[in-house]
Structure 1
Amino acid sequence: MALTKSYLKDLTYQINGAAIVVHKFLGPGLLESIYHKCLKKELDSRGISFTSELLVPINFKGLDVDTNLRCDLFIENCIVLELKTVDDFAPIHQAQLLTYMKLLEAPKGILYNFNSVNLYKEGQMTLVNEYFRNLED
């Protein structure tokens, strides 16, 4: 399947649905690692492919740098997911997601804060970058 804005929109809808199911079942207040494990199970059950704890490559001036930098989930090699359990999103969370998207050449990223009362309204943030803008509809 060709990577298009429409494909990413549909995939985002499926991912949001999976995250909402996990959040509704568990509620807020647990460790990030618990939501991570449950979200992996839910994504698996929906047939959505992903890599968990993907090592994010860093190439600095032509040299590979071992940083042990990991993104939480890389969905179908095109959407970066970062999971949080914080009071509120901070600018550093957005910066982290945008950097992972750039390094992985991913057009879209989603932040989830499972410590929110309503995951969809206040606990979710979707970001896009120049890779997204260059995609066909």
Structure 2
Amino acid sequence: MEFDNLSNRVIGLAIEVHKELGPGLLENTYKQCLAYELSQIQIKFLLEVELPVQYKEISVSCGYRIDLLIENKLIVELKSVDEVHPIHEAQLLTYMKLAKIRIGLLMNFNEKILKNGIKRFVL
């Protein structure tokens, strides 16, 4: 599936979840509901993917976890915060670099209008 099509479908599903639930819930609630929506239209995804750091010949488990890895080509990092800070963006960019995934979406569900809380990243 082409990136623009895939990301637009994921964004559409996220907006559907946000319309149904509104802002103010915990991040995990939105993650589980978005996972449900993805499964309903048979988009392949993984939840909470552990992401070790490769250092020389060892793999170091540092506790990094990708919220949603979609179709093995799109990372979605979900937040439910008052304000997205540069550290949130850095977190997504780090995951993208470590996973060698070029495309990422940062979504803050704690916005009145979800589209105002979505940022796309490309490496």
TM-score with structure 2 length normalisation?
A: 0.96
Structure 1 unaligned blocks of 5 or more: 2-6, 130-137
Name which of 45, 51, 58 aligns with 1:56: 51
Q: How far 1:62 sits from its partner (Å)?
A: 2.3
Q: Write the distance in 2 (CA, Å) between the matches of 1:26 and 1:8.
A: 27
Name which of 81, 85, 90 aligns with 2:80: 85
Does residue 106 of structure 1 match 2:79?
A: no
- Name the Cα RMSD after superposition: 0.9
Does residue 31 of structure 1 match 2:63?
A: no
Q: Write the distance in 1 (CA, Å) between the matches of 2:10 and 2:78.
A: 13
- Determine helix, strand or coil for the equivalent of 1:116: coil
Number of the residue aligned with 1:44: 39
Q: How far 1:46 sits from its partner (Å)?
A: 1.4
Number of the residue aligned with 1:14: 9
Decide which structure has the larger Cα Rg and report it.
1
Q: How far 1:68 sits from its partner (Å)?
A: 2.5
Task: Please show how residues 60-79 of structure 1 align to structure 2 within 5 Å.
Answer: 60-79=55-74
Q: Name the % identity.
A: 46
Q: Write the distance in 1 (CA, Å) between the matches of 2:37 and 2:66.
A: 18
TM-score with structure 1 length normalisation?
A: 0.87
- Determine helix, strand or coil for the equivalent of 2:59: strand
- Determine helix, strand or coil for the equivalent of 1:48: coil
Structure 2 unaligned blocks of 5 or more: none
The answer to whether the Cα contact below 8 Å between 2:51 and 2:61 also exists between their aligned partners in 1 is no
Q: How far 1:61 sits from its partner (Å)?
A: 2.2
The residue type equivalent to 1:85 in the other structure is: S
Q: How far 1:60 sits from its partner (Å)?
A: 1.2
